[in-house]
Amino acid sequence: MRVRERKTGRTALIVGGAVLVALLFSRGKGWGFHGAGSPSRTAARPVVWIRADRLEIDGVTADLATVLARSRTAGAVEVHATGDAITGVVSNVLDTLHEAGITIYTTSDLSSVVPSERGV
């Protein structure tokens, strides 16, 4: 009888572990093993840096038209500005993105420059 009890316990442990693994794979994002066509995958929003002498999108120097096109494709953009960025350029970039209907994510130091939804 003892041998049978041991086998039952081992079987229950293996079945329980398999159920746990199946549950982890099937719920939410799991460990990221979804296929490329999976609806849970979304394109990452581009990161824009406004510097004193240039704009960069995802680490590549670009002009405002390129930044606007890539941001429209993603639907959202994360914007940062260096300390030596010209305030007028920062404002112009943010206004252009806002007018295009792109969701803008910024840090708190740029919150006073981001166009308001109320138009104030």
In a domain? residue 62: yes
Residue 55 sits in the same domain as residue 10:
no
Q: Are 106 and 78 in contact (CB under 8 A)?
A: yes
Residue 14 sits in the same domain as residue 51:
no
Residue 22 sits in the same domain as residue 57:
no
Q: Name the domain count of the chain.
A: 2
Residue 55 sits in the same domain as residue 26:
no
Whichever domain contains 56, its CATH number is: 3.30.420
Provide the domain limits for residue 27.
Answer: 1-33
Whether this prediction's pTM lies above 0.85 is answered by no
C-alpha–C-alpha distance, residues 81 and 15, integer Å:
54
Residue 117 confidence (pLDDT) above 80: no
Over the stretch 35-64, which tens digit does the pLDDT of each residue have? 544 444 456 889 999 999 999 999 999 999
Over the stretch 18-33, which tens digit does the pLDDT of each residue have? 887 777 666 655 555 5
Which of 103, 81, 105, 76 is CA-nearest to residue 92? 81
